[in-house]
Amino acid sequence: MEIRAHMVSAGTAEGEAVVYKGPFSFLGDLDPATGKVPVPRHQLEGHVLANKVFVFTTGKGSSGGDFAAWVAKKNGNAPAAMICLESEPVLSGAVIVTGIPTVDKPEKDVFELIHTGDYIKVDATKGIIEVVGK
């Protein structure tokens, strides 16, 4: 199944999906040393985001999100690709600077169609999300 979307940051990547119906900040929500979500009581606490295809709503928080993304990427602990409903400047800057393939504004309901653990291919340059399946 294919879902069309809008390119935020070019490139292609694939991997297992992690789906979270909420906003995300690279500063605070991703431990650059482990690639996991470190936030106590967070729905994804302890989940690995490194090298996954992360599906979420939008960006949030500090303008330091981009330097946090840079450190995570250098450590090999950034997501492989990102899919969100609507990006915002700090998140877009972060994925463009670090080269993480990212799309937003998907034309179908990604929270309905993609589940944590599904295998996903993202061609951000062409604006195509492919849901391969479990």
Partner 1 sequence: MQLTNEEKRMKAGEYGPGTQRAMDLLVKYGDSFDAEQFAPISYGHISYDFCPEEFWNLMTEGVGKTPHRVTTHPSYSPEVWKQWGLSLADNWAGEHERKLKRFLELGWLRTETCAEYLLGIMPRKGDIVSMGGSCMQVANNSLFGARVDRMGILISLAAAVCGRTPLMGLLVPENRFASHMVELEDLDVSNWTIAHYHCLGYYIGDQVPGFKPVAVNGLPPNLPFDFARALVISMPTSGSVTLGHIVGTTPEAPTLEAALGGKKPEHVIRVGKREMTQTWERLNVWDDNTVEHVAFGCPHATIDEIGRIAALVEGKKLKASLLIGASAPVEALARRQGWADIIEKAGGHFEPVCPSITNPFTRPDIAGKNQAKSAATDSARSAHYLATVSGVKVFFGTEEECVNAAITGRWKGEVPRWK
Catalytic residues: 62
User: What CA dihedral angle connects 18, 45, 35 and 62, to 10 degrees?
Assistant: 100
| For partner 1, the closer CB: 62 or 116 | 62
47 vs 67: CA distance, rounded Å: 21
**If DSSP codes are grouped into helix, strand and coil, which group holds residue 107?**
coil
- Stretch touching partner 1 by CB under 8 A, among 11-19, 46-54, 60-68, 126-134: 60-68
Question: Binding partner 1 by CB under 8 A: which of 64, 111, 121, 130?
Answer: 64
| For partner 1, the closer CB: 74 or 126 | 74
> Is 106 an interacting residue with respect to partner 1 (CB under 8 A)?
no
Give the N- to C-terminal CA distance of the chain in Å, as an integer.
13
DSSP state of 11: -
Q: Site residues for partner 1, window 15-44 (CB under 8 A)? A: 28, 39
CA distances from 112 to 109, 117, 128 (A): 5, 14, 17
Shortest spacing between CB 25 and partner 1, in angstroms: 9
- Here the tokens at position 79 are 């997501």
Question: Binding partner 1 by CB under 8 A: which of 7, 48, 113, 128?
Answer: 7
Shortest spacing between CB 122 and partner 1, in angstroms: 15
Shortest spacing between CB 123 and partner 1, in angstroms: 16
Please, are residues 81 and 101 in contact by the beta-carbon 8 Å criterion?
A: yes
Binding site for partner 1 (CB under 8 A): 7-10, 28, 39, 58-67, 70-71, 74, 86-90, 92-94, 96-97
